[in-house]
A and B are shown apart, each in its own frame.
Chain A
Amino acid sequence: MMIDQGARKRLIETVAQRVIASADELTDLDRAIGDGDHGSNMRRGFEAVLAAADELSGREFGQCLKGIGTTLVMKVGGASGPLYGTLFMALGKSLADEVTREQAAEAFAAALDAVKARGKSDVGQKTMLDVLFPVLGVLREGGAELGARLKAAASAAAQDTIPMRAIRGRASFLGERSIGHMDPGARSSALIVEAVVDAMEGFAMKDLKDLVVKDSVVNDLVVKDREVKDREVKDREVKDLA
Chain B
Amino acid sequence: MSENVGIVIVSHSADVARGTALMVEQMVGREVPLGWCGGDPDGGLGTSVEAIMKAIDQAWSERGVAILVDLGGAETNSEMAIEMLPESRRGRVVVCNAPVVEGAVMAATEAASGATLEAVRRTAEELTPV
Q: Which residues of A contact B (CB under 8 A)?
A: 35, 37, 40-41, 44, 73-75, 77-83, 85-86, 118-119, 169-170
Q: Is B72 in contact with chain A by the CB < 8 A criterion?
A: yes
Chain B residues with CB under 8 A of A78:
40, 46-47, 73, 77
Determine if B44 and A81 form an interchain contact, defined as CB atoms under 8 angstroms apart: no
> Is B41 positioned at the interface, with any CB of A under 8 Å from its CB?
yes
Docked-complex contact A74 and B50, CB < 8 angstroms: yes
Residues in A with CB closer than 8 Å to B71 are 170
Given A37-B44, A79-B76, 17 more pairs with CB closer than 8 A: A37-B45, A44-B42, A74-B50, A75-B41, A77-B42, A77-B44, A77-B47, A77-B48, A77-B77, A78-B40, A78-B46, A79-B72, A80-B73, A81-B77, A81-B80, A82-B49, A85-B80
Query: Are B76's CB and A77's CB within 8 A?
Result: no
Nearest-CB distance from B13 to chain A (Å)? 12
Is B31 in the interface zone, CB < 8 Å from A? no
Report Cα–Cα, A189/B41, bound state, in Å: 22
Q: Are B84 and A77 in contact (CB under 8 A)?
A: no
**B:26-76 near A, CB below 8 Å:** 40-42, 44-50, 71-73, 76
> Whole-angstrom distance between the alpha carbons of A85 and B79 in the complex?
13
**Contacting pair A40 B44 (CB below 8 A):** yes
In the complex, the answer to whether B45 meets A82 with C-beta atoms within 8 Å is: no
- Are A83 and B76 in touch, CB under 8 angstroms? yes
Interchain Cβ contacts under 8 Å between A and B, 7 examples: A74-B41, A77-B41, A77-B48, A79-B76, A82-B77, A85-B80, A86-B80
Q: Is the CB of A118 within 8 A of B40?
A: no
Q: Are A44 and B41 in contact (CB under 8 A)?
A: yes
Shortest distance from the beta carbon of B115 to any chain A beta carbon, whole Å: 27
Interface of B is mostly: loop
Give the residue of B42, B45, B49, B72 whose beta carbon is less than 8 angstroms from that of A81.
Answer: B49
Closest chain B residue, CB of each to CB of A48: B41
List chain B residues, Cβ under 8 A from A119: 76
Give min CB distance, B100 to chain A, whole Å.
16
Tell whether A37 pairs with B41 under 8 Å between CB atoms, given A118-B79, A118-B80: no
- Please state if B49 and A73 are interface contacts (CB–CB under 8 Å): yes
A174 to chain B, nearest CB (A): 13
Tell me how far the C-beta of B49 lies from the nearest C-beta in chain A, rounded to whole angstroms: 5
- A212 CB to nearest chain B CB (Å): 25
CB A111 to nearest CB in B, in angstroms, measures 15
Q: Which residues of B contact A35 (CB under 8 A)?
A: 45
Most A Cβ at <10 Å: residue of B41, B71, B79: B41
Residues of B near A41 (CB, < 8 A) are 40, 46
4 tightest A-B contacts by CB? A77-B40, A82-B80, A79-B73, A77-B46
Q: Which residues of A contact B77 (CB under 8 A)?
A: 77-79, 81-82
Do B46 and A170 touch (CB < 8 A)? no
Specify which chain B residues have a CB less than 8 angstroms from the CB of A83 in the assembled complex: 76
A85 / chain B contacts, CB cutoff of 8 Å: 80
- In angstroms, how far is the closest chain A Cβ from the Cβ of B43? 10
Question: Which residues does chain B contribute within 8 Å of A170, judged by CB atoms?
Answer: 71-72
Nearest-neighbour CB distance to chain B for A70, whole angstroms, equals: 8
Which residue of A is nearest B51, CB measured?
A77
**Residue picked from A35, A37, A79, A119, most chain B C-beta under 10 Å:** A79
Expressed in whole angstroms, the Cα–Cα distance for A2 and B80 within the complex equals 31
